[in-house]
Amino acid sequence: MRYALGIEYDGTDFRGWQRLGDGSASLQGALEAALSFVAGHPVEVVCAGRTDSGVHGQCQVVHFDSTATRSEYAWLMGTNTRLPRSMAVRWVTPVSDAFHARFGARARRYRYRILNRRVRPALDARFVTWERLPLDADAMHQAAQALLGEHDFSAFRSSQCQAAHARRDMQRLDVSRHGEEIHVEVRANAFLHHMVRNLVGSLLPVGRGEQSVAWMKQVLDGRDRSLAGPTAPAQGLLFIGPLYPAQCQLPQEVTL
Catalytic positions: 52
Residue of 133, 98, 102 whose CA lies nearest to 118:
133
CA 230, 152, 107: angle at the middle one, nearest 5?
90
Cβ proximity of 183 and 111 under 8 Å: yes
Rounded alpha-carbon distances, angstroms, from residue 108 to 19, 58, 70, 82, 112: 21, 12, 30, 28, 14
Amino acid found at 71: S
Cβ proximity of 168 and 188 under 8 Å: yes
Side-chain half-sphere exposure of 241, counting CA atoms within 13 A: 20
- Distance, CA of 173 to chain centre: 14
Element (H, E) at 184: strand 181-188
Q: Is 154 helix (H, G, I), strand (E, B) or coil?
A: helix
Cβ proximity of 56 and 237 under 8 Å: yes
